[in-house]
Structures are given as structure tokens and as C-alpha cells.
């Protein structure tokens, strides 16, 4: 890749300040697929300085100028969609068709929604004699993950550009090449110099430098709760805004009124999508206790039917997980689930028998799980489902809420019942009856799943400061 060992700073592809590189591993082969430069605090400093200089002029651009910029980016994103999907598939293991349609395609969807929301967003309005103004928050540091890389890059960048912010992006070093392509798209679209900057690197070096930098006004972070705490601590001395989307352990309550076989099957598929590497994955399935055996049998059949294999194979349902560290973590938690007494009904330890290399995980289902077991408490981030029984709806709600997380929740059953229960769940998103994704719905979590919201008009709000000009009509 042409720009893999360079950073995009102040409208130019530049050499890093130090000569340090990292091999990026193809998780399907466990072999290097390329090399990136690793940035330093000095590179972060250069990028922040460029963003700070650019903010003075970009923050004053008109709404029309920004809309036209967003549309140019959208056009190029669509043109390079398959290229983005191909590289995402290789660097984090998503099946190729899914990587093109969903992993890459979601980037264009976010820009489309940002344009739609931006065109109707009220940046200023009167409240009595006071004028209320939404102004850009300033320089934003964006730290993004590897599991849905373009999703998180696009939803942040689109909102920041729309509101007049400038930014420095640090993508995950596990899946960094899609961010290089994204920077090329930004350059081709004519983003003004310094408005968008890209520095590769790891969290303890570049991430920490950005989070603690006094000229960064906001950190928008997506990743684990553990890393989110570190970001918040680094940001605290400068009292900057910290916007976070963190971990999840989402419950999926299947009511007695649900079409039980269909609901269980759909829950398995949704849990295992993207090889389970989705923060909103419904990893805790709550079923009526008297139907535990039936739920386990249905889930096992669904899991056993999934094809695990190379991302390039059109028959593949689940590719590898993204890294050796992720594979080892998942294996350790499967082993702990067995040791703690959960009933293993599908999958288990090790790779599928037909694969002898790659970070492939067997789609795994545990039945008769209690909510105090490790597999029900910890975010596994792999294709592992825990089935928990309940006796009453009140018990189901209590178990669903008994988690430090609160990112998403799911309910399957009679529509009237699901609507009545949705308000009792402590999570940022509640999905009823296998509803699809909504790019305009607020996205973010309660409790240790983070703070703030992304997507649509809610994302625009996050990137603005609110000013009240009191007595505006008294002059």
C-alpha cells in the first residue's frame, strides 16, 4: 500500500518522526500482510498543531460548503467501497461479501445520514430574547477500533466535519490499512489542509498523547471499557470532553409469546455475526426456564450449521477473529465456562477440525448458564453464546440489567409486550423483534458502556458546544 508507512498531516503524506514499524497480521493465515509506521508523541504533536491551525478557518465555513464537502466524500466512498471491503476482510477477517456490503458499506450510510441530519440541524435559534448557538467543539482526537473500523471512523468524521471541527484520527494498529484508504479519500475529496489528520500508532503512545494534549478539545473513543478508563484518566487534567462508546454484554430476552424456534435461531445468528466481534452482540440469551432444553437444541443446530472458513470463500459465514490475543482470550473464557459448570451444547475449545492455521473459533453455545458465571459477566468478543433461564418477566429484566454494561438489549415476543418492557432495560439501545439497524437512531451506552451518543443528529450534538447569547434582541 502506497502510503502505509506515512502519516497524513496538514494535507500531506509525511514521514514519521521516528523509524518504528509494525507488521500487520492477516488473521486467516497468521502471516504478515503488510507493515505500517508507528507514530510517536512528536507525530501526535504535529497533527494536533495542524488541526489547531485549520480550526480557525474551517470552523467559519458555511453550511453549504460543508454539505458539498460531505457529498464529495460520499461519492468517493461509494466508488472505493469494494476496495475498502477487501482490505478490511484481510486485516480483521470478515467474510469478503460481508466486508464489502456491511463493513465498508456502512461508511457511506453514515455520510448519507450525516448529510440528511445536517441539512435540518438547527445551529442557532431564539429562545425568548436569548440566542442559542451550537458551535464546533474544536480539535477532536478520534481513537477507533478494529472490529467495525470504517463504521466508527465514518460516524465520527462525518459529524465532526459537518459541525466545523478539525480532527486527528488514530485507528487501531490491528486493522490500520482501511484508515489509510480513508485518508486517501479525504485527500481526493479536497478536505482543507489540517482539517483531517491521520497518525498510526498504539494506545499507550499516540492514543495517550492525543488524550492528554492541551490543544485537543474533545476525545471521541470507541473500544474496550478498560482502554476507555485509561483515555478518560489521561484527558482529566485538561478537563476536555470525553465521548466514549465502550463494551457490552447485551441481553436478548425471548418472551413466552415469541415464535420460539425463530427467535432463538435469529438470536444465535445475530450473536455470531462478525465472528461475535460486535459490541452490541446479544451474547446473553434469556429464555423461559422450562424451555431451556429446547433452546439449547435449536441454538446448537444453528451454531453447527455455520461455516467457519477463509474470508475469501463465498461459503464462509464466520471468518477468523482478529488477532492471536483475541483468540487466546476467547479460548480462556470457553475453558472457564466449562470449568464453572455451564453446559456446552455446541463448539468448544480449539479451531474447527478442518482448519490448521488462522485465528478461527468454533461457534460455541453454553446452556444452563447463571448470570454470575464468567461467560455471562465478561465481554468475550467472540462467537460464544450463553443461554440463561428465567421464571418470570420481572426476573428476566433483573438478570438483563445485572451487568456493568448497558450498550444494547433485545426483546422478542408480542409487540405490545416488548414495547412495555423496553423502558425497564438500562441500555442505550433496545431492539424489538429482530429489528434492523437504524443509522439515525442514537448509539451509545449506559453505565460502563460509555457516555454520549453517535449517529444522525445525536452525533452532531456531541461535536458542538452550546452558547447562550443573552439579551440578543435587546440591542
Q: Which of 38, 247, 47 is nearest to 145 (CA)?
A: 247
DSSP 42: H
Cell 486493522 sits on residue: 175
Q: How far apart are CA 386 and CA 388, in angstroms?
A: 6
Residue 148 is classified by DSSP as: S
Annotated catalytic residue, options 245, 393, 417, 454: 245
CA neighbor of 313 nearest in space, from 55, 98, 13: 98
Catalytic one among 155, 165, 271, 279? 279
Q: What does the alpha-carbon distance between residue 468 and residue 200 come to, in Å, rounded to a whole number?
A: 38
279 is catalytic: yes
Adjacent-strand bridge partners of 141 = 168, 219
All three cell numbers of 13: 503524506
Distance, CA of 97 to CA of 399 (rounded, Å): 36
Give residues with Cβ within 8 angstroms of 165, minimum separation 6: 55, 58, 59, 136, 137, 138, 139, 140, 218, 463
- Sign of torsion, CA 309 312 314 317? positive
What are residue 83's phi and psi, to 5 degrees?
Answer: -65, -45
Q: Judge whether 245 counts as a catalytic residue.
A: yes
Rounded Cα–Cα distance for residues 321 and 382 (Å): 7
Active site members: 245, 279
Amino acid at each position: 500500500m502506497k502510503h502505509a508507512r506515512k502519516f497524513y498531516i496538514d494535507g500531506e503524506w509525511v514521514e514519521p518522526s521516528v523509524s518504528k514499524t509494525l507488521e500487520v497480521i492477516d488473521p486467516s493465515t497468521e502471516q504478515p500482510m503488510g507493515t505500517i509506521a508507528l507514530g510517536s508523541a512528536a507525530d501526535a504533536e504535529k497533527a494536533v498543531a495542524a488541526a489547531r491551525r485549520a480550526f480557525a478557518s474551517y470552523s467559519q465555513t458555511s453550511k453549504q460548503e460543508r454539505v458539498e464537502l460531505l457529498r464529495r466524500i460520499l461519492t468517493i466512498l461509494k466508488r472505493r467501497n469494494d476496495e475498502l471491503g477487501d482490505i478490511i476482510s484481510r486485516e480483521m477477517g470478515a467474510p469478503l461479501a460481508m466486508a464489502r456490503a456491511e463493513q465498508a458499506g456502512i461508511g457511506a450510510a453514515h455520510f448519507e445520514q450525516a448529510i440528511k441530519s445536517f441539512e435540518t440541524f438547527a445551529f442557532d435559534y431564539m429562545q425568548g430574547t436569548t440566542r442559542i448557538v451550537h458551535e464546533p467543539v474544536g480539535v477532536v482526537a478520534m481513537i477507533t477500533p478494529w472490529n467495525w473500523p470504517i463504521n466508527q471512523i465514518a460516524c465520527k468524521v462525518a459529524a465532526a466535519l459537518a459541525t466545523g471541527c478539525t480532527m486527528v484520527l488514530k485507528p487501531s494498529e490491528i486493522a490500520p490499512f482501511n484508515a489509510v484508504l480513508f485518508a486517501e479519500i479525504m485527500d481526493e475529496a479536497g478536505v482543507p489542509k489540517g482539517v483531517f489528520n491521520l497518525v498510526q500508532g498504539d494506545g499507550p503512545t499516540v492514543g495517550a498523547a492525543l488524550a492528554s494534549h492541551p490543544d485537543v478539545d474533545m476525545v471521541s473513543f470507541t473500544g474496550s471499557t478498560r482502554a476507555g478508563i485509561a483515555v478518560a484518566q489521561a484527558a482529566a487534567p485538561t478537563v476536555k470532553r470525553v465521548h466514549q462508546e465502550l463494551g457490552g454484554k447485551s441481553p436478548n430476552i425471548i418472551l413466552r409469546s415469541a415464535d420460539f424456534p425463530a427467535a432463538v435461531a435469529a438470536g444465535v445468528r445475530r450473536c455470531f455475526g462478525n465472528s461475535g466481534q460486535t459490541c452490541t452482540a446479544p451474547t446473553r440469551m434469556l429464555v423461559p426456564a422450562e424451555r431451556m432444553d429446547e433452546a439449547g437444541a435449536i441454538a446448537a443446530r444453528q451454531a453447527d450449521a455455520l461455516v467457519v472458513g477463509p474470508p475469501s470463500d463465498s461459503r464462509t459465514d464466520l471468518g477468523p477473529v482478529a488477532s492471536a490475543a483475541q483468540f487466546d482470550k476467547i479460548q480462556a473464557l470457553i475453558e472457564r465456562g466449562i470449568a464453572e459448570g455451564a453446559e456446552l451444547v455446541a463448539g468448544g475449545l480449539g479451531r474447527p477440525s478442518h482448519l490448521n492455521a488462522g485465528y478461527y473459533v468454533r461457534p460455541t453455545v453454553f446452556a444452563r448458564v447463571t448470570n454470575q458465571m464468567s461467560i455471562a459477566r465478561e465481554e468475550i468478543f467472540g462467537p460464544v453464546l450463553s443461554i440463561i433461564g428465567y421464571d418470570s418477566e420481572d426476573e428476566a429484566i433483573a438478570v438483563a440489567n445485572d451487568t456493568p454494561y448497558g450498550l444494547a438489549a433485545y426483546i422478542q415476543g408480542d409487540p405490545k409486550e416488548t414495547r412495555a418492557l423496553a423502558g425497564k432495560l438500562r441500555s442505550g439501545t433496545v431492539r424489538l423483534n429482530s429489528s434492523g439497524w437504524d443509522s439515525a437512531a442514537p448509539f451509545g451506552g449506559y453505565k460502563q458502556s460509555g457516555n454520549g451518543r453517535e449517529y444522525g443528529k445525536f452525533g452532531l450534538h456531541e461535536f458542538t458546544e452550546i452558547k447562550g447569547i443573552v439579551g440578543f434582541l435587546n440591542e
